[in-house]
Amino acid sequence: MKKYIELETVGTVLKEEFIEPHNLTIEQVANAISVPAWRLFAIVEGGEPMTADLDLLLTKYFGMSEGFFTRWQKSYDARIAKRQLRKKITEIIPLSKLGKVAVL
């Protein structure tokens, strides 16, 4: 079985790179952006993915570009999917290798 490095979830990044360095609690951030604390806890604990609405609120609060957290989430999801589908992906023969032209 192939070994992979552990990927950081968006919740880990949120907690370790944004909440903790500012000496904040999840509850304080949740209050500041007017969402229930359980929503942030669910993301930080890895049980829920980042959503577009939370991304907009968090990026505004932390002074970042919109989409930072959702881009991280998409990248994480894609890497996990690639790991899970690795064998299946390698078995696919690209259309261009079959001498066919894709019609768009």
Instruction: Say what the pLDDT of residue 78 is.
Output: 94
pLDDT tens string 24-68: 999 999 999 999 999 999 999 988 999 999 999 999 999 999 999
pTM, rounded to two decimals: 0.82
Average pLDDT across the chain, whole number: 92
pLDDT confidence bin for 101, thresholds 50/70/90: low
Q: Domains of the chain, with CATH numbers?
A: 10-98 (1.10.260.40)
Tokens (6 digits) for 34: 């007017």
**Distances from the Cα of 55 to the Cα of 13, 50, 74, 98, angstroms:** 13, 7, 12, 42
Instruction: Say what the pLDDT of residue 102 is.
Output: 63
Cβ–Cβ under 8 Å, residues 54 and 39:
yes
Share of the chain above pLDDT 70, in %: 92
